[in-house]
Each structure stands twice: as structure tokens, then as C-alpha cells.
Amino acid sequence: MLKNQIFAFTKLNSLTLSLIFVVIIGIIGLTSATATTGYLYAMIELMILAYSINLITGFSGYVNFGHVVYYGIGAYTLAVAVVALSNFGFMIPIPLLIILSGLVAASVALVIGFPVLRLRGDYFAIATLGINEAVRLTILNTKELGEGRGIYLFGLIPGYDIKLLFTYLIIILTAVILVSYFILKSRVGYGLRAINSDEDVAEAMGVNTSKYKLLAYALAAFFAGLAGGVVSLQFAIAFPEYFYIVRNIDMLIAMILGGAGTILGPLIGSVIYFMVKDALLITFPYFYLIIFGAILIMLVLFFPIGIVGLLNKILYKRFKRRRVLE
Amino acid sequence: MSREIILSIENVVKKFGGLYALNGINMEVEEGSIVGLIGPNGSGKTTLFNVITGFYPPEDGYIRFQGRDITRLRPYLIARAGIGRTYQVVRPFEGMTVRENVLVGGLFGRGKGDKSIKLDDWCNEALKVTDLEAKADTPSELLSFTGKRRLEIARALALRPKLLLLDEIMAGLTPTEVDESLQIIKKMRDNYGLTIIVVEHIMRAVMAVSEKIVVLSEGVKIAEGPPKKVADDPKVIDAYLGEREAS
């Protein structure tokens, strides 16, 4: 199986297509004016988040409304670490700080996921909403974490450099795409897809469902945490707004629009979602959320298979193979 | 010639609220045998399967599989120990092809980590036994009803179980298909030395294939023995048809 996975790099498939796209967008972002870089930067952040929620919600089918909590925890981890280290007059390299954010988010996910993943379906979705609110309110009321004002990092971290931040995000994006692909193609991937389809039957087929769900949940949290760490660097502040539920909806919709549980899906979905949302915001500054809400409802009701699912339906006629694209 | 006991169920009790779904069931299954489990609707047959496979932990009693107590193990560990099952209402993994469905059983079953047999070979074998080879790359949700029934068997077989629990795999099939299914059951036993417990409502089928029949009624075992003897047992006839009125 591993041999097949290494072989995957040498031919045209969903993985290589995604990576080619990342390279192109990376080159454009790093060579163009900072305004363009900023635009692409926001798009790539959404992509990372869409890929990370795809690891749990797309693969195992557990709809997660509290995924943004790990983004927030990542952001706060970096901020707290920076402040604490500065108090000792000490600093560690920024990439290590970002990785720390991911690790802390994943650790929290392991602890929270253990009880919460026992719930299924709607109950899980509601519980995850609760977790996000609980963490946000705790931070709002904890003096050491800056309450509603947040934790300021001005002067403690290097100055704003969009190209450098962009590079961090490109690296994280590449990592999350690779991890998603190898998980999908591995034993774990089959286990998660089986859970997605029918958890009881998966268990009867020998799948250690709790272990795989927890693994996917923690891994998803890890990547959300990395993205959170970078956002703290970007704004030089960690504040409760990072736990804003709309960001969770954003990543969820971007993933579903592209194709849940696929490799190309979060990428395509994020690009379209981001551009349309941005264009709507400029055209209808006051009504765009209303228009957008209507589009989202239509999407979930009539287009649950996503763009990749639709493309596969078309390609099925030609190749007589399902899942031509993944 | 006495064979080893592969599964023994000792005094198993399962309650749902105040209702006894299983009330002190004792049963022994010999290795390599085919046992028919019959009884009227609601007598506890499927519940017994769910208890054996760990989905409903029993309130009382023990289940021993190959001499090992598996009473309160998690279902996936019981599956890996070597107990495969099918579902009365077919439940293929939708969104996967037939082959991928079978592969899940192979990847996580008893053969996990066993290098002596190639996974692909084993999955092909499971598809071949159940006559699904030609449909291997079909999306599982597009299979016919009969095909889905077969897929349930193939998937359970890919686990490389020692004991197979078949829950009404013939319900709703035509007489010809029932005969084919009987052939599959016999083939699995003879080729792989499997022990099989069949829950079935089609009496012709269950009588033809089983060496021993166990009859449940309202959560209690009311008869046990060779098919012929059980069929003539007045208690069994009462359970199915109601008591004969005194005339």
C-alpha cells in the first residue's frame, strides 16, 4: 500500500493536481504586489481550514460546528507563549511557535474529543457548538487571557511581513493536502469512510471506531491550530473574535461546495466560495449576507455531492469508474 | 466424533427496560457445524446476535468464544477475534464500490497484519464465493437486492472469521436464489471450515442446511436438536401456531 502512495506523486491525480495548484498560487502570491498577496493569503487560510475540517467532517461524516475553537486555541497558544517567553527575555523561532499552537490544539482536541465523539449526528453537532461557546466565554472572563481586549503582541514579534506569513500558510497547506491524501488512501481512510457510511457496521467489521474518530478529530484540530497560530502573528493580537462561529460556517460550506471527503474538494470549494463571497460583499455591502444565506441553503439542499461529486458523475460516463477525482 | 465447542453461551440475560428479550439462554456450538436459530417474530434471535457481537452487553451470563470470555469486549475486538455477521436489513457501505466494501472487512478483520495471505487474494476469494466478481467495481448502492445480500456475506467473509452469524440472508429471495444461498453457506463451511449460525424464517432452507436447530420463543430456548426432531416437537408447533385447543 505504501508503495502505491509514493507512486501517487508520479502521475496525474487529485494529489498532484492539488499540489500543482498550490505551486501556481504560491508563485503568484510571492511575486505579485502585496494587495494580491493579501487577497490570496485570505483565500489560502480558508483552504487550510476547509481541509482541516474535511479531515473530521468530510471523512467521518461528523458535522462539526465547533471546529473554529481549535483555530482560536491555536491563536491564543501562540500569543500566550510569546508573552510568557518575552517575560523571560527569551524567544524561540516563529515556526516552532506555530507548531506549538498546532500541538496544543491537538492535545485539547484529544481531551475534548474523547467524551464528545461518543455522541452521534445532531447531538455531536450541538455539543461542538457548545464547546466553542464555552471556551470563548471562558477567555472573555479570564483576566490572564486579556478578557475581551485580547492579548497584544506588538513589539514582541517581528513586524508585519505578508510575504513571510504567506509562505507559512503555503507550507501548512501543502502539509494538510499531503496528510489528507495519505489518510484517504490508507487503512485509516477506509475506516473513516466506513464510519461515515455506517458506524455500527464499521465496528462489526473490526474498525476501532472511537480510535479512528479521535485520531481524525485531533489531526483536524492540529491543522486548525497551525492556521490559528499564523493569524495571531498576522494581527499581532489574539482576541475572542477568532472564535466567531461564521468562520466555522465558512470552512464547512467551502468544503461541502467543493466535495466533502475528497482531496480536490476543499481546494475548489474554497476558491469559488471566497471569490463569490468577496464579490458579493463589494457589490451588495449591506445585503450580501442575506443573498449568501439563500445560496447556502440551496447548496446544502440541492447540491450535497459538491463540485467534485458532480464532475465525477460526468466523468463516470467516460471512464466507467467511480471516484475518478478524489 | 465429538468436535470442539467454539462458542458457548451461558445463561445470557438481556433486558430492554422491564422486558426480557433473552432470559437465560444456554447454547453450545461445535466447531465446523451449521446451526439454525429459529423462532417466531420477536423471540430474540437478532438480539442474541447483537449480544454475541458485543452491541448489546448482556445483563447476566457469559459468552465464551474459543475458550475466551468475550462477554464485555468492544464489538470491533469481537470481530477481530473472528466473529463475522450480516444484517437482516442490508447495510452496505454506500459510497464505496463492492470491492472497497469487502476490503474494509479484510483490512480490519482477523487477517490484520497477517503477511502470509495477500489481502487482494483474500478479498477476491470472498467475492468469488459469493458470486460477486463481475460486480466488483460497481458502486454498492447500485447492486440489486440479492446482490446486497451477497455483499453482506462477502464483507463478513473478508474478516476471515471462524464463526459467521447470518441474519436472515434469504428473506425476500426467490426459490432459486434461496438454493444458491444454501450452496454458498455449504461452500463456506466446507472450504474454510467455518462455523455458521443461521437465523432464518424459511423452514425449508434452515432444515436443509442445519445440523442442529435451536428454537427460541419469547427469549427462552424451548427446543434444541436435529432438524427432524425439532420439527415434530409439540412445544415448537405451539410456539409457531398457538396451543391446540382441548377438544
Q: At A27, is the secondary structure helix, strand, or coil?
A: helix
Residue of A223, A216, A256, A179 whose CA lies nearest to A70: A223
A3 chain-B contacts, CB cut-off 8 A: none
Distance CA A193, CA A205 (A): 13
Q: Which residue of A has its CA nearest to B101?
A: A194
Q: What residues form DSSP beta bridges with A238?
A: A151
What is the ipTM for the molecules in this complex? 0.89
Residue B1 has pLDDT above 60, yes or no: no
pLDDT for residue A2 is more than 70: no
When computed from its CA atoms, the radius of gyration of chain B, rounded to whole angstroms, is 18
Q: Are A42 and A193 in contact (CB under 8 A)?
A: no
- pLDDT grade, residue A287 (50/70/90)? confident
**Contact residues for A27 (Cβ-Cβ < 8 A; gap 6+):** none
Question: What total of structural domains would you count in chain A?
Answer: 1
Among residues of chain A, what percentage have pLDDT more than 90?
67
Strand pairing of B34-38 and B19-30? unpaired
Q: How far is B181 from chain A (nearest CA, A)?
A: 21
Q: Residue A320: is its pLDDT beyond 80?
A: no
Q: How confident is the model at residue B73 (pLDDT cuts 50, 70, 90)?
A: very high
Longest dimension (CA), chain B: 68
pLDDT at B247 > cutoff 60: no
DSSP state of B42: T
pLDDT of residue B122: 86
Q: Which three cell numbers stand for residue A222?
A: 492540529
pLDDT band for position A18 (cuts 50, 70, 90):
very high
The top-scoring range by mean pLDDT among A50-59, A282-291, A302-311, B130-139 is A50-59
> Which homologous superfamily is B5-43+56-219 in?
P-loop containing nucleotide triphosphate hydrolases (3.40.50.300)
A260 contacts in B (CB within 8 Å)?
none
User: Does residue A253 sit within a domain?
Assistant: yes
- Split at pLDDT 50, 70, 90, the class of A303 is confident
Asked whether residue A325 is assigned to any structural domain, the reply reads no
The widest CA-to-CA distance across chain A, in whole angstroms, is: 64
B35 forms beta bridges with B197, B212
Residue A80 C-alpha cell reads as: 500566550
What chain B residue is nearest to A190 in terms of C-alpha separation?
B104
Query: Residue A79, Cα to own-chain centre: how many angstroms?
Result: 20
Q: Model confidence over A28-79: pLDDT tens digits?
A: 999 999 899 999 999 999 999 999 999 999 999 999 999 999 999 999 999 9
Give me the residue label for grid cell 493536502: A177
Query: Nearest CA to B148 among B200, B198, B209, B90?
Result: B90
A116-143, pLDDT tens digit by residue? 999 988 899 999 999 999 999 999 999 8
Highest mean pLDDT among A309-318, B112-121, B177-186: B177-186
Distance CA(B37)–CA(A182), nearest Å, equals 44
- pLDDT tens readout for residues A204-259: 999 999 999 999 999 999 999 999 999 999 999 999 999 998 899 899 999 999 99
In angstroms, the Cα distances linking B138 to A202, A229, B96, B99, B150 are 20, 44, 9, 8, 14
- Determine the pLDDT at residue A254: 92
Q: What burial letters (b/e) apply to B95-120, b meaning 16+ CB within 10 Å?
A: bbbbbbbbbbbbbbbbbeeeeeeebe
The answer to whether A128 and A136 have CB atoms below 8 angstroms apart is no
For residue B109, list chain A residues with Cβ-Cβ distance below 8 A.
205-206
By CB atoms closer than 10 A (0-12, 13-18, 19+), residue B147 is buried
Domain coverage including residue A74: 2-319
**A129/B189 Cα distance (integer angstroms):** 51
**A191: nearest CA in chain B?**
B104
Q: Which of A194, A204, A321 is nearest residue B85 as measured by Cβ atoms?
A: A204
Residue B92 CB-density burial (10 A; 0-12 exposed, 13-18 middle, 19+ buried): buried
B93/A187 touch (CB, cutoff 8 Å), yes or no? no
What residues are paired with B60 via a beta bridge? Answer: B13
Secondary element (H or E) of residue A64: none
Q: How far is CA A198 from the centre of its chain?
A: 24
A155, pLDDT greater than 90:
no
- When scoring A1, A118, A205, A312 by the number of chain B Cβ atoms within 10 A, the one with the most, hence best to mutate, is A205
pLDDT for res B115: 66
Half-sphere exposure of A40 (CA within 13 A, CB side): 26
Question: Which residues are within 8 A (CB) of A268 and not within 5 positions of it... i.e. 6 or more apart?
Answer: A257, A258, A259, A307, A308
Alpha helices in chain A (DSSP H): 2-7, 14-31, 34-53, 59-60, 68-87, 94-116, 121-140, 162-185, 187-197, 199-204, 209-235, 245-258, 265-283, 288-302, 306-319
Looking at chain A, which residue has its C-alpha nearest residue B110? A206
Query: Are the beta carbons of A84 and A149 closer than 8 angstroms?
Result: no
> Does some domain include residue A164?
yes
| Exposure b/e, A297-320, CB count within 10 A at least 16 = b | eeeeeeeebbbbbebbeeeeeeee
Determine what percent of chain B falls in helix, strand and coil, rounding each to the nearest 5. 40, 25, 35
Report pLDDT for A50: 97
* Contact assessment for residue A73 and residue A275, using Cβ atoms and an 8 Å cutoff: no
Give chain A's end-to-end CA distance (angstroms, integer): 17
pLDDT score at B244: 65
HSE of B1, CA atoms in CB hemisphere, 13 A? 4
CB contact, 8 Å: B159 with chain A? yes
B193 CB neighbour count, 10 Å cutoff: 10
The CA distance from A203 to B153, in Å, is 16
Residues 6 or more apart whose Cβ sits within 8 Å of residue B166: B85, B86, B153, B185, B196, B197, B198, B199, B200
